[in-house]
Structure 1
Amino acid sequence: MLIRDAVVGDGPALARVHFDAWHVGYAGLMPQGLLDATTMERRTVSWQLTLSGERTLRENILVAEVNGTPLGFAHTGPGRDADADGAGELWALNVAPSQWGSGLASTLVRTAHDVLRRGGFDRATLWVLTGNARARRFYERHGWSPDGVAREETIRGFTIPELRYTLDLRLT
């Protein structure tokens, strides 16, 4: 396995990972209408725009590659919440369902922790779907804990309940 920075040509592969992870991982947890509206075409366009555009200061997109094939990604950057107060954020972490349980996600999240630390952050946040027990257990195994903040995010007209998790990067 290789963890590397994303390049523009990764767009289609990251779109596939993102699409598959959402459709398998969120089945029964997110409104089916939202999953149906999340198409490969939309994901591909979104990733192409993200990878070809300018990134914010301290923003990173990591790719986990196995035998030359991107099978996971982590997107990190400065905290986006009004109360971020200098924290970093794990904006997204997705892994191909075929890799769940393989250790790829663990390697990827530990590398994301390192990247955030190297970016000058000593703590970080992430948002997780409230009902996603699998993801919540994963993050908790890696030192993250809920901080008591919840929100309802609206995506394409669908309301999604989320919990915020925090991590003291000095302890990982």
Structure 2
Amino acid sequence: MTVTFRTMTKADLAAAAALWHEGWHDGHAAICPPALTRQRTEASFRDRLSRDVANARVALRADRVAGFHILKDNELYQFFVAPAERGSGLARLLMQDAETALRMADHDRAWLACTVGNARAARFYEKTGWTRMATERMEFETADGPFALDAWRYEKAL
């Protein structure tokens, strides 16, 4: 089936938030503190997406949201693919879309944060040419304010 990419619209918010919620909990619930996990509700993801919809692109398969990415300046801020799409090649195509958008915005280097312990995501980033540069204490957005957590910082020359 064909995959298409386009800028996210408000009509995509519910499906993208559900995908983000499922993907985040699948990849993070076992490695993040319960205080953070409790805050990661589908509504919280929908609120965050609504603020970043202009910076987000979706991957569509059969007119359904199968993945998305959000860029903030030269940061690949969020990157999620539906669990059913794992192994399908969609993640690699979505990464290519994100990197193309970063280059088109005149960035020659990009970075992303990967929660320490998220081995599946780390393997994917490394397979697609990203390099782990450091482990840093970062603040992640929540409805209650910033939440400090260790993350691996990955970078890539574009």
Report the TM-score when normalising by structure 1: 0.81
Paired residue type of 1:118: M
Deviations 1:119-144 (A, max 9, x none): 10111111111111111110011110
CA RMSD in angstroms, aligned pairs only: 1.8
Aligned to 2:60: 65
Shift of 1:32: 3.0
Shift of 1:47: 2.2
Q: 1:15 aligns with which of 6, 17, 20?
A: 17
Deviations 1:59-91 (A, max 9, x none): x3110111000121011131xxxxxxxxx1111
* Residue 105 (structure 1) aligned with residue 107 (structure 2): no
Provide the rounded CA distance (Å) in 1 between the counterparts of 2:150 and 2:99. 25
Deviation larger for 138-147 or 152-161: 152-161
Deviations 1:100-155 (A, max 9, x none): 12111111011111110111011111111111111111001111001225224355
- Structure 1: runs of 5+ lacking an equivalent: 79-87
The aligned runs of 1:2-151 (5 Å cut-off) are 2-51=4-53, 55=54, 60-78=55-73, 88-151=74-137
- Check conservation: 1:129, 1:163, Cα contact below 8 A: yes
Provide the rounded CA distance (Å) in 2 between the counterparts of 1:44 and 1:126. 21
Equivalent residue pairs, number: 153
Secondary structure, counterpart of 2:106 in structure 1: coil
* Residue 160 (structure 1) aligned with residue 149 (structure 2): yes
Aligned to 1:81: none
Deviation larger for 67-76 or 34-43: 34-43
Runs (4+) off by over 4 Å: 154-158
- Check conservation: 1:21, 1:94, Cα contact below 8 A: yes
- Structure 2: runs of 5+ lacking an equivalent: none
Provide the rounded CA distance (Å) in 1 between the counterparts of 2:39 and 2:65. 24
Provide the rounded CA distance (Å) in 2 between the counterparts of 1:42 and 1:100. 24
Does the C-alpha gap of structure 1 residues 164 and 67 become closer, same or farther in structure 2, counting only changes over 3 Å?
Answer: same
Does the C-alpha gap of structure 1 residues 63 and 122 become closer, same or farther in structure 2, counting only changes over 3 Å?
Answer: same
Provide the rounded CA distance (Å) in 1 between the counterparts of 2:138 and 2:75. 18
- Check conservation: 1:17, 1:94, Cα contact below 8 A: yes
Provide the rounded CA distance (Å) in 2 between the counterparts of 1:146 and 1:32. 26
- Check conservation: 1:12, 1:47, Cα contact below 8 A: no
